[in-house]
Amino acid sequence: MTTRPRDKRMTADDVIGTLESGMTIGIGGWGPRRKPMALVRALYRSDLTDLTIVSWGGADVGLLSRAGKIRKLVYAFVSLDSVPLEPNFQRARQTKSIPELMELDEGMFQTGLRAAAQRLPFLPVRAGLGSDVLTNNPALRTVTSPYADGEELVAVPALELDVALVHMNRADMHGNAAYLGPDPYFDDLFCMAAKRAYVSTEQLVDTAGLTVDSPVQRLLISRMMVDGVVETPHGAHFTTCTPDYERDERFQRAYAAAASGSDEDWQAFHDRFLAGDEEYYQAAVRAFQEEKQA
Give the chain's domains with CATH numbers: 12-121+159-247 (3.40.1080.10), 122-157 (no CATH)
Determine the pLDDT at residue 1: 47
> Would you state the pLDDT for residue 219?
87
The pLDDT mean for the chain works out to 94
Tens digits of residue pLDDT in 81-114: 999 999 999 999 999 999 999 999 999 999 999 9
Residues 59-64: contacts with CB under 8 Å, at least 24 apart: 59/32, 59/35, 59/86, 59/88, 59/238, 59/239, 59/252, 59/255, 60/27, 60/29, 60/35, 60/36, 61/27, 61/86, 61/88, 61/89, 62/86, 62/87, 62/88, 62/89, 62/259, 63/88, 63/274, 64/40
Give mean pLDDT, residues 152-158.
97
DSSP string of 113-150? HHHHHTT-SEEEESTTTTSHHHHH-TT-EEEE-SSTT-
- pLDDT at res. 211: 74
3-state secondary structure 18-34: CCCCCCEEEECCECCEC
Q: What is the pTM of this model?
A: 0.95
Indicate whether 252 pLDDT > 60: yes
Sort 26 into a burial class: Cβ within 10 Å, 0-12 / 13-18 / 19+: buried
Q: Which residues of 60-87 are buried (b: 16+ CB within 10 A; e: fewer)?
A: bbbbbbbbebbbebbbbbbbbbebeebb
**How confident is the model at residue 215, as a pLDDT?**
53
Helix, strand, coil percentages (3-state) for the chain, rounded to 5, are: 35, 25, 40
Q: What SS3 class is residue 160?
A: coil
* 168/229 Cα distance (integer angstroms): 10
Residue 261 has pLDDT above 60, yes or no: yes
Q: How many CB atoms lie within 10 A of CB 265?
A: 13
